[in-house]
Amino acid sequence: MNLNTRAERLARGSHSEAGFNWRIWLVVGFSVIFLSLTAASAQAQRRGSYNSGAIRQQQQQGAVQAALAQLAAAKEVLAAAESSGKVAQSSLDEAVSKLQAKSKELTDAQTVSKDLSKRLADLEKEIVTGAAADSAYGKAVAEQEAARKARYDVEVRIVGEAEVQSALAGLTGAAWTERKQSILAQRPDYMQANKRLEAANEGISRQRRELLEADKTWQELSESLAKAHKDERAVETQNRVSPRQKTDATKKLQSSSEAAAAAKAAIAQAEAVLKANGGSKYLKSDTPTKKSK
């Protein structure tokens, strides 16, 4: 009776332990799936920040806001230029200073290549670090590391030789380095190791380029950057004027006529930026309606 009871207890314990282990593995399995989905979602969100269409939309919004600010500042200058009285000059100076600041903000908003360059560099880092160890790029990285270590080992062995130590004795700094390199260049084993490293460097550069070019997001962002450079050069050429026409951003426009001329040019520029970036709707409210006779 006692033996049967003990056997039953062991059996129940065995079933209980098996059930407990099954639940643990079930929890672990769900955890792995959840973490995988979370990682995939995070990667998708990061890739979304490199979407060329979304980036272009953000840049257009920034350019529109900066153009509206310049437009408002330029109108303040026109109003101040038409005013008279004791405080007219100080009001004009203040308005001109504000216009110059807003004009700089508009220039910065139109210079999008810097932002695109940073995004492209971040994307390239993400692509490269995410490459699998058994991929062509991963193997190239491993070969580069092995070649670098092999050359280092050969160099250490050669420099440690008694004859080489004697040749380097008494030398320091650049003289020591120059003499060491001269000795290494005469050793076939070092030159062979150096050629292997050079080939590995060329291989990793090639594999890196192929890895990036195979990524669709990288291709789109790279094309956007090239277009941004082209557009900025066109804007720079268009805005290039003769020294007599150019208004120095640090110069105080004492004359109301000078200030008014600068304000009108700023208004024309802001309106052009608005039209080019989908902000034409902001100009409609300023269009005067013709009175019927």
Q: State the residue for tokens 């490293």.
A: 197
Q: Which residue has the higher pLDDT, 129 or 45?
A: 129
pLDDT at 212: 96
Q: Measured between alpha carbons, how far is 145 from 152 in angstroms, rounded to an integer?
A: 11
Q: Which residue has the higher pLDDT, 152 or 269?
A: 152
215 is written with which tokens?
């990524």
Can you tell me the mean pLDDT for 247-253? Answer: 44
Q: Which positions ≥6 away from 187 have C-beta within 8 Å?
A: 154, 158
Q: Is the pLDDT of residue 11 over 60?
A: no
Report whether 112 contacts 97 (CB < 8 A): no
DSSP element (H, E) containing 240? none
Label each residue of 130-178 as H, E or C.
CCCCCCHHHHHHHHHHHHHHHHHHHHHHHHCCHHHHHHHCCCCHHHHHH
282 is written with which tokens?
């902001």
Dihedral sign of CA atoms 252, 255, 259, 261 in order: negative
pLDDT at 201: 97
Ranges of each domain in the chain: 1-40, 53-238+253-275
Dihedral sign of CA atoms 12, 16, 19, 21 in order: negative
What does the chain come to in residues? 293
- Taking the CA atoms of the chain, what radius of gyration do you get in angstroms? 35
Q: Measured between alpha carbons, how far is 280 from 275 in angstroms, rounded to an integer?
A: 5
Can you tell me the mean pLDDT for 204-215? Answer: 96
Q: State the residue for tokens 């008014």.
A: 260
Q: At what angle do helices 173-184 and 136-159 cross, to 10 degrees?
A: 110
pLDDT at 139: 96
Can you tell me the mean pLDDT for 170-176? Answer: 95
Q: Which residue has the higher pLDDT, 145 or 234?
A: 145
Q: At what angle do helices 216-239 and 52-82 cross, to 10 degrees?
A: 20
Q: Measured between alpha carbons, how far is 207 from 128 in angstroms, rounded to an integer?
A: 10
For the ranges 30-34, 214-218, 276-280, the lowest mean pLDDT is seen at: 30-34
Report whether 128 contacts 202 (CB < 8 A): no
Q: Is the pLDDT of residue 259 over 90?
A: no
CA distances (Å), origin 269, targets 42, 79, 147, 222, 228: 41, 18, 57, 28, 19
Render pLDDT for 19-33 as a digit per residue (tens, 0 to 9).
Answer: 556 566 655 555 555
Q: What is the DSSP string of 4-68?
A: HHHHHHHHHHHHHHHHHHHHHHHHHHHHHHHHHHHHHHHHHHHHHTT-HHHHHHHHHHHHHHHHH
Q: Is the pLDDT of residue 244 over 50?
A: no
pTM above 0.75, yes or no: no
Render pLDDT for 74-121 as a digit per residue (tens, 0 to 9).
Answer: 888 888 888 876 667 788 888 888 988 988 888 777 777 888 889 899
Q: Is the pLDDT of residue 260 over 90?
A: no
Render pLDDT for 87-98 as a digit per residue (tens, 0 to 9).
Answer: 677 888 888 889
Of 149, 155, 226, 237, whose CA–CA distance to 190 is shortest? 155
Report whether 111 contacts 216 (CB < 8 A): no
